[in-house]
Structure 1
Amino acid sequence: MSEGLAEQKIGFLGCGAMARALCGGLVAGGVPKAHLRGSDPNPSQRENFADSLGIETTGDNEVLVASSDIVVLCTKPGLVAEAIGALPETLRTEPRLWISIAAGIRLSALEQSLGTPSRIIRVMPNTPALVGQGASVFCPNASANESDRAAAESLLAWVGTTWEAPNEEMLDAVTGLSGSGPAYVFLFLEALAEAGQKQGLPREAADALAFQTVLGAARLAIESELSPAELRAQVSSPGGTTVAGLAELDRAGFRDAVDRAVTAATHRSRELGE
């Protein structure tokens, strides 16, 4: 945890699951709970946030923003403009850092809502952040400074890995790959476990074996100096079982299907941002 971030008052505008994950990471990283606050119009969301983290909450966004050096926008994308627009102009234009995790809301739209110059960082996280294993990418606007970048990186590092995109356009591809990627993996897990059941495995065993296989393979790929292609070749003995299985995946167009999925999600992200 950077010392600068620990000294900041950080408010989460929206108290949903991702806000709880990010705030929980800050608590684990040593940010004083007194420096953290959440706001949400939904009483049950506020209650869950407060009970799970021991953090003060409010139903008043103005109170939250006024007391925060950094505001993390965690509302649903369709509510961002409304939430910002309801704030007094003085609060929108005061010098503070805004970090948005709202999918598809571009920096230009945030700048238009907040006013220029506003220090803004747009983030594309993914759902494994809920268990501290996220893959997040962030992109600052022109007004954000090095301290702002460091604050965003420190915040995101507590819920997984993070990378700064050199330009905002890349966030569409990020959305197609890592933003939507967990759903692709969940579908593969479903299919893998169901296939095991068809071969006679009990459901509980098939699920456990599929989950651990994907988890272990990902860990091996991360820790190994070999590429995924090289790791695949290591377990693909000529005439063996793995080669037989891979041949069927190739015949079914597995690689092409993944490519088309990422492409479709990337294009949809661009459309939503227009």
Structure 2
Amino acid sequence: MKIGFIGLGNMATAMIGGMLQKGMAKSEDIIGSSKTETTAEKVKTKFNINTTTDNTAVAEQADILFLAVKPIFFPEVIAGIKDAVKADTLIISIAAGRKLQYLKDAFGRPELKLIRCMPNTPALVLEGCTGVCAGENVTEEETEQVLSLLRSFGIASVVPERLMDVVVGVSGSSPAYVFMFIEAMADEAVAAGMPRKQAYEFAAQSVLGSAKMVLETGKHPGELKDMVCSPGGTTIQAVKVLEEKGMRAAVMDAMDACIEKSKCM
């Protein structure tokens, strides 16, 4: 089975790294293309995979083909490869806002097997989160095959396409919100006298550990919050200020803006 990547940016290289590290693919099974020779050579050296600047060469060989370019480049890229893709190739888009119907219209080949997914950047450290929806020509077995690949760098779940814009808001873009939260906590720790490096470490580890508690205990986040808030203690005072400043509403409004932007792309 040959796995192809058109686009070799951060997300594509994170996915490639996960697949290789988890043994889901061998380096000789992967081929990728990039716009520049410099990027192609860099990725080839890092992963020992075959790379090129010719998208058509990748499309012709791939049994599973990831479209890993930015949405604005989709018309140009698809126009260049639509006649080269094999009828039984699984074509997987990782672009925000590009619906299955868009892909179907752009390729102009109703027999093609199309899948839309939305991974996020924590895939770089094998802790990604990916939402997946499949077109009508994709079998359950083929969907499971793709999920297995995506789970090599985190979790992956099937969602109905109507929720894919929500996936963008809750996981695709949300690492940026979390990074801002970590940065803000660290900034105040520095203001209170902690060295910058140590402040980032403490803040990031606290977020990591809190997330693991949500996933591994199965408890409601509100219940876990209450466990930290001792009567008359320090934590409840901090929570009070966050509520006064509208933290929840700010996060929800930010996600709403993100979701609406995804819908309009």
Fold similarity call, TM over 0.5:
yes
Cα offset for 1:205?
2.1
The secondary structure found in structure 2 opposite 1:169 is helix
Letter in 1 for 2:72: G
Query: Partner of 1:87 in structure 2?
Result: 81
Whether the 8 Å contact between 2:116 and 2:134 is mirrored in structure 1 is yes
Question: Shift of residue 87 of structure 1?
Answer: 2.5
The aligned counterpart of 1:202 is 195
CA offset digits 1:174-206 (Å, max 9, x no partner): 111111110110111111111112222222222
Partners of 2:127 and 2:42 in 1: how far apart?
21
Match of 2:6 in 1: 13
**Residue 161 of structure 2 corresponds to residue 168 of structure 1:** yes
Letter in 2 for 1:62: T
Residue of structure 1 in register with 2:247 after alignment: 254
Counterpart amino acid of residue 54 in structure 1: N
Q: Secondary structure of the residue that 2:57 maps to in structure 1? A: helix
Corresponding residue of 2:231: 238
Alpha-carbon distance between aligned partners in 1 of 2:227 and 2:62, rounded to the nearest angstrom: 52
More deviation, 22-31/168-177: 22-31
Match of 1:3 in 2: none
Residue by residue over 1:86-110, the C-alpha shift from the partner in whole angstroms, topping out at 9 and shown as x without a partner, is 1362x24632110111121111111
SS at match of 2:231: coil
CA deviations on 1:201-250 (whole Å, 9 max, x unpaired) are: 22222211111111111112221132211111111011100011100001
One-letter code aligned to 1:49: V
SS of residue paired to 2:81:
coil
Match of 1:70 in 2: 64
Identity of aligned residues (%): 37
Measured on the aligned residues, the alpha-carbon RMSD in Å equals 1.3
**CA distance, structure 2, for counterparts of residue 33 and residue 201 of structure 1:** 44
Match of 1:124 in 2: 118
2:256 aligned to 256, 263, 271, which one? 263
Other-structure match for 1:181: 174
Distance 2:81 2:263 in 1: 28
CA distance in 2, matches of 1:28, 1:79: 29
Equivalent pairs, count = 263
Q: In 2, distance between residues paired with 1:147 and 1:39?
A: 27
Please name the residue that 2:94 is paired with.
101
Extract unaligned runs of 5+ from structure 1. Answer: 1-7
Report the alpha carbon displacement of residue 9 of structure 1 after superposing the two structures with TM: 1.0
| Aligned equivalent of 2:210, options 209, 217, 223 | 217
Q: Is the 8 A contact 2:37 2:52 kept in 1?
A: no
**Runs of 4 or more above 3 Å deviation:** none
Q: CA deviation at 1:28?
A: 2.0
* Partner SS, residue 161 of structure 2: coil
Decide which of 34, 39, 44 is 1:40's aligned counterpart: 34
Q: Is the 8 A contact 1:111 1:117 kept in 2?
A: no
Q: Is the 8 A contact 2:65 2:92 kept in 1?
A: yes
| 1:147 Cα offset (Å) | 2.4
Query: Is the contact between residue 5 and residue 68 of structure 2 (CA under 8 Å) also seen in structure 1?
Result: yes
Letter paired with 1:176: G
- Pick aligned residue for 1:23 from 16, 23, 28: 16
TM-score (norm 1): 0.92
1:137 CA displacement: 0.5
